[in-house]
């Protein structure tokens, strides 16, 4: 069975959930081979983690020489592993960095690239991806017709599947060109831990907009009761109520959770582009004419400052 390369998304060795989703997709295509580019001392734990989700092979690439050098070296690493393993496909998380790696890799390998896949279906040798475009108004099914399919996959495109793979570890020493080591991270300030799931990966997102009036207590209370991430509309971010990292929308994060709860958000196209593919959409808004209500599975016309605390209290009560 052909190998399928999966680039491991991790922070300092801690493997992130989208990696496990990619491994589940890789299993549909062939034999999953995880590619871990990181610190040598973190490799054992990361290899063990991806093995638990089906990795048959784990390529370990020590990043001592390339740490901090952005995307170009990683694209070179993948190019060299692909040359050695002739994979059936290469799966990369559709993060900002992942897409840039994928873009460079596509040119290097003369291979077709599909970004932001929300689903990947396999029928025999044919790998068909699904993308959601034009603010989620259209669904596009596409296939790669040249080279090795390179697919950048969005979070929540598949459910992680536990189940051990062979997990054979192979140290891979890549040759990195000097040209790839020119743009460098000078300083990095890790985001303050919120104790909540990451916005793009969360199964549930609770967002607030202009209607919060800047008071996110009710929004955050409901988010915590549901174990959700907190998001914000552009209006809330522009007003300085939340940093840009919370922004859901075309120029912020594009999310696709199981449940999206929009509170005090009118539903401008900018915002819809960032959340319209959510499986279930709920809105609370005082204005019954708000366009967000055109999208919802369930909507409440009312004041979020009274509705949300009541919902939160009831959820807490049921949890006991």
Partner 1 sequence: MTLSNIVVLVKYVPDATGDRKFEADNTVDRVGVDGLLSELDEYAVEQALQIKEKRPDEEITVTALTVGPAAAEAAVRKALQMGADKAVHVQDDAIAGSDAIATSLVLAKAIEKIGVPELIVGGLASTDAGMSVVTAMLAERLGLPQVTLAAVVESQGDQVRIKRDGDSATEVIGGTLPLVLSVTDQSGEARYPSFKGIMAAKKKPLEALTLADIGVDAGEVGLDAAWTKVDNVTERPARTAGEIVKDEDGSGATALVEFLASKKFI
Q: Restricting to residues 80-139, which ones interact with partner 1 according to CB under 8 A?
A: 95-97, 99-104, 106-108, 110-116, 128, 132-139
Using rule CB under 8 A, residue 146 touches partner 1: yes
How many CB atoms within 10 Å of residue 263?
27
The one segment of 34-42, 46-54, 183-191, 212-220 that binds partner 1 by CB under 8 A: 183-191
Residue 139 CA neighbour count, 13 Å, CB half = 9
Kindly state the smallest distance separating residue 172's Cβ from partner 1, in Å. 21
DSSP letter string, 243-295:
-GGGBBSTTSB----SEEEEES----HHHHHHHTT-SEEEEEES-TT-GGGGT
Contact positions with partner 1 (CB under 8 A) in 227-256: 244-245, 250-251
For partner 1, the closer CB: 67 or 244: 244
Kindly state the smallest distance separating residue 165's Cβ from partner 1, in Å. 26
Give the x/- contact pattern for partner 1 in 52-81, rule: CB under 8 A: ------------------xxx--x------
How many CB atoms within 10 Å of residue 44?
13
For partner 1, the closer CB: 31 or 111: 111
Contact positions with partner 1 (CB under 8 A) in 202-221: 204
Contact positions with partner 1 (CB under 8 A) in 256-315: 258-259, 269, 280-282, 284, 288, 293-303, 306-308, 310-311, 314-315
For partner 1, the closer CB: 112 or 167: 112
121-129 own/partner pairs: CB under 8 Å, 24+ apart: 121/28, 122/28, 122/29, 127/29, 127/88, 127/89, 127/151
Question: Helix, strand or coil for residue 200?
Answer: coil
Helix 71-85 / helix 96-109 crossing angle, nearest 10 deg: 50
The one segment of 45-53, 80-88, 163-171, 188-196 that binds partner 1 by CB under 8 A: 188-196
> In the set 34, 144, 206, 255, which binds partner 1 (CB under 8 A)?
144
What whole-number distance in Å separates Cα of residue 7 and Cα of residue 91?
6
Kindly state the smallest distance separating residue 114's Cβ from partner 1, in Å. 6
Token pair, residue 281, equals 């959409």
What whole-number distance in Å separates Cα of residue 287 and Cα of residue 303?
9
Using rule CB under 8 A, residue 194 touches partner 1: no
Number of residues engaging partner 1 in binding (CB under 8 A): 88
Nearest to 191 by CA among 221, 143, 229: 229
């Amino acid at each position: 069975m052909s190998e399928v390369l999966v680039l491991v998304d991790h922070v300092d060795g801690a493997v992130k959930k989208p990696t496990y989703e990619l491994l589940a997709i890789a299993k549909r295509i062939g034999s999953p081979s995880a590619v871990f580019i990181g610190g040598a001392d973190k490799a054992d734990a990361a290899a063990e983690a991806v093995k638990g989700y089906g990795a048959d092979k784990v390529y370990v690439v020590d990043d001592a020489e390339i740490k901090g050098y952005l995307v170009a070296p990683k694209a070179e690493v993948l190019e060299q592993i692909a040359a050695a393993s002739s994979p059936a496909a290469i799966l990369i998380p559709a993060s900002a960095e992942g897409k840039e790696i994928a873009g460079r890799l596509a040119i290097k390998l003369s291979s077709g690239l599909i970004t932001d896949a929300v689903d990947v279906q396999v029928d025999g040798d044919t790998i068909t991806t699904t993308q959601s475009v034009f603010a989620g108004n259209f669904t596009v099914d596409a296939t790669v017709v040249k080279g090795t399919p390179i697919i950048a996959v969005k979070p929540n495109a598949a459910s992680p599947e536990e189940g051990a793979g062979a997990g054979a570890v192979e140290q891979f020493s890549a040759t990195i060109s000097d040209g790839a080591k020119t743009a460098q991270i000078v300083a990095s300030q890790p985001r303050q831990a919120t104790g909540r799931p990451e916005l793009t990966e969360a199964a549930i997102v609770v967002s607030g907009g202009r209607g919060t009036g800047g008071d996110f207590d009710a929004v955050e209370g409901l988010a915590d009761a549901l174990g959700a991430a907190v998001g914000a509309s552009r209006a809330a971010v522009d007003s300085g109520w939340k940093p840009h990292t919370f922004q859901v929308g075309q120029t912020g994060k594009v999310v696709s959770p199981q449940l999206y709860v929009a509170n005090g958000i009118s539903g401008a196209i900018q915002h819809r582009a960032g959340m319209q593919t959510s499986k279930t959409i709920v809105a609370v808004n005082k204005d019954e004419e708000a366009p967000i209500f055109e999208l919802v599975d369930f909507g409440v016309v009312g004041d979020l400052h009274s509705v949300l605390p009541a919902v939160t209290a009831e959820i807490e009560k049921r949890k006991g």
